[in-house]
Amino acid sequence: MTRIAIIGGGISGLAAAFDLEQRRQTAHDVEYTLYESSSRLGGVLRTECVDGCVVEAGPDSFVTEKPWAADLCRSVGLGDQLIGSNDADRKTYILTRGRLVEMPDGLMFMVPTKILPTGLSPLFSWKTKLRMAQELFHPPRAVNHDESVADFVERHYGQEMVDRLADPLLSGIYGGESSSLSVRAVLQRFAEMERTHGSLGRAMLAAHKRMSSGPRKPAPPLFTSLRNGMQSLAETIVSRLNAASLRTDTPVKAIQPESGGWTVSLGAQAEHFDAVIVALPASATANVLHDVSSDLSAELGAIQYSSSITVALAYDLEVRQALPPGFGFLVPRSEEKRLLAATFVHNKFPQRAPEDRALLRCFFAGSNAESVWDLTDEQIVGVVREELQQILGPQIRGLRAEPLFARVYKWKSAMAQYGVGHLERLERIEILRKALPGLALAGNGYRGIGVPDCVRSGREAAKELLT
């Protein structure tokens, strides 16, 4: 019988536990124990139902293109609960000099694939539009060292593209700044396009041409979620696990290799296992591994995390009708607001709000989150309401009224920041980890911060230890 410990009960740890449970039930040769420091399982996957609205405190969905989260949903029996984003209404606005400007059609991240909409868009100055045309002649780049997303985008399209698009888009995903995020880690596909084609515009057009020459399939929705919210994934996994294997309110202090296996120390108590999956944020993994390998711990500890805050606000039908169509807006830092983004949930996932409700999900991250962190929930709601009125315009009178309800969720150091040199750091981590047999790592600190990548990391960790 192989005994495996899983440390961390977020989606990464739960995905690993699900695979170990399958093996336990079929081959009867594995036992596992999952340790979670808090009283609930699911980590940042948390959903509340308030006044008929499905309110997501953490992630609200995942990108459909990465299959691992949806696959897991199907494996646990939630296939019929999967919902797609309402892409017919997929518009995103960027706050530009105090006005909401629609992102032009055909923009793939920051690469224009349709000339006319981008050429006519007030989002960019003529100088940037000229840079977009010149970019088509960008030569392939032989140098293969990492750089920041900001430097990469600036080389291709200039500083305005960094400020108006790259930075706000990445803040919405990583809660970080494009000047410190690694292009090779967070925009791997674009770095590869530059290597092969030079111009991102030409690479994208070539990819489009290849796709349109094959049989035409309707595009899947950009985002996928679950009818009753993301927490239902965590809850359903938990319901499929062996209840006796789950230990909530049990923080792990340290782990140590011992007698060909691993000892998990809970403070006064210690338990022995053959192998261990650490499915914690990299910074917390650094702490539990501190006495095992100072080099490994230092590398893990160098992966930075940023904090974020989501605020849900509900309004009545008058506000819903007055809000612009689309999924929401992003706020570049140059606009000097504290809000980074807002999602019009009732448009993105209409199932999540009754027809007579507007549901807004507002987002602070990184230094913007730190700037309001110590305020009370009421004060944070006050900041959000003030900025929403400034951004959406005084013409939406209903926004001046008290929201029907408001919820504030704070997530301390939950979003990994893949800094410049992240992939090289992961190579060093892999070498150090492999010197410690029976140790596997999973979580958002390594090869993808989104839910699908976390699921993949957990399942791969389980598979590695089982084989």
Ligand X SMILES: Cc1cc2nc3c(=O)[nH]c(=O)nc-3n(C[C@H](O)[C@H](O)[C@H](O)COP(=O)(O)OP(=O)(O)OC[C@H]3O[C@@H](n4cnc5c(N)ncnc54)[C@H](O)[C@@H]3O)c2cc1C
Rg (CA), the chain: 23
Determine which residue in the list 168, 328, 366, 443 makes contact with ligand X, applying CB under 6 A: 443
Rank residues 2 and 12 by Cβ distance to ligand X and give the closer one.
12
141-162 residues labelled b (16+ CB within 10 A) or e (exposed) = eeeeebbbbbebbbebbbebbb
Question: Taking the complex as a whole, how short is the minimal distance between the CB of residue 13 and ligand X, in angstroms?
Answer: 6
Q: Which stretch binds ligand X (CB under 6 A): 134-142, 151-159, 333-341, 450-458?
A: 450-458
Is there a contact between 224 and 83 (Cβ–Cβ < 8 Å)? yes
Residue 407: CB minimum distance to ligand X, A: 13
| The token pair that represents 363 in the structure block | 């987002």
The residue from 162, 193, 277, 284 that contacts ligand X (CB under 6 A) is: 284
CB-wise, 266 or 436, nearer to ligand X? 266
Counting contacts by CB under 6 A, is residue 465 touching ligand X?
no
- The residue from 198, 229, 261, 281 that contacts ligand X (CB under 6 A) is 281
User: To which residue do tokens 């920051």 refer?
Assistant: 110
Residue 218: CB minimum distance to ligand X, A: 23
Strand partners, 325: none
Cα distances (angstroms) measured from residue 303 to each of 67, 121, 188, 248, 436: 26, 38, 18, 26, 20
**Candidates 9-17, 185-193, 213-221, 417-425; binding stretch for ligand X (CB under 6 A):** 9-17
Instruction: Choose which of 5, 6, 12, 381 interacts with ligand X (CB under 6 A).
Output: 12
Backbone angles phi, psi at 440, to 5 degrees: -125, 150
CB 41 within 8 Å of CB 9: yes
- The torsion region of residue 233 among left (phi > 0), alpha (psi -120 to 50) and beta comes to alpha
Give Cα separations from 60 to 94, 368, 393 (angstroms): 20, 20, 26
Q: Which is nearer to ligand X, 198 or 281 (CB)?
A: 281
13 binds ligand X (CB under 6 A): yes
Binding residues for ligand X, total number by CB under 6 A? 37
Residue 70 vs 252, nearer CB to ligand X: 252
- Please list the alpha-helical segments (H only) found in 198-310: 200-213, 231-240, 282-288, 294-301
Give me the 53-72 binding string for ligand X, x by CB under 6 A, dash otherwise. Answer: -----xxxxx----------
Helix (H) or strand (E) holding 434: helix 422-434
Residue 10, interface with ligand X (CB under 6 A)?
A: yes
Q: Does 415 bind ligand X (CB under 6 A)?
A: yes
> Reduced to 3 states, what is the DSSP secondary structure of residue 61?
coil
- Separation of CA 247 from chain center: 26
**In the complex with ligand X, which residue's Cβ is closer, 46 or 156?**
46
Handedness of CA 365, 330, 219, 79 (dihedral sign): positive
Shortest Å, Cβ 206 to ligand X: 28
Residue 411 sits in the site that holds ligand X (CB under 6 A) = yes
38 interacts with ligand X by CB under 6 A: yes
Instruction: Note whether 326 binds ligand X by CB under 6 A.
Output: no
Applying CB under 6 A, which part among 145-153, 208-216, 431-439, 441-449 lies near ligand X?
441-449
Question: Of residues 210-269, which lie at the interface with ligand X (CB under 6 A)?
Answer: 251-252
DSSP state of 439: E
Does position 449 bind ligand X by CB under 6 A?
yes
* 444 scored as a contact of ligand X (CB under 6 A): yes
191: phi then psi, degrees, rounded to nearest 5: -60, -40
Query: Does 280 interact with ligand X (rule: CB under 6 A)?
Result: yes
Q: Are 322 and 314 in contact (CB under 8 A)?
A: no
Q: Is residue 196 a contact point for ligand X (CB under 6 A)?
A: no
Residues that bind ligand X (CB under 6 A): 7-13, 35-38, 43-45, 58-62, 251-252, 279-281, 284, 288, 308, 310, 411, 414-415, 443-444, 449-451, 454
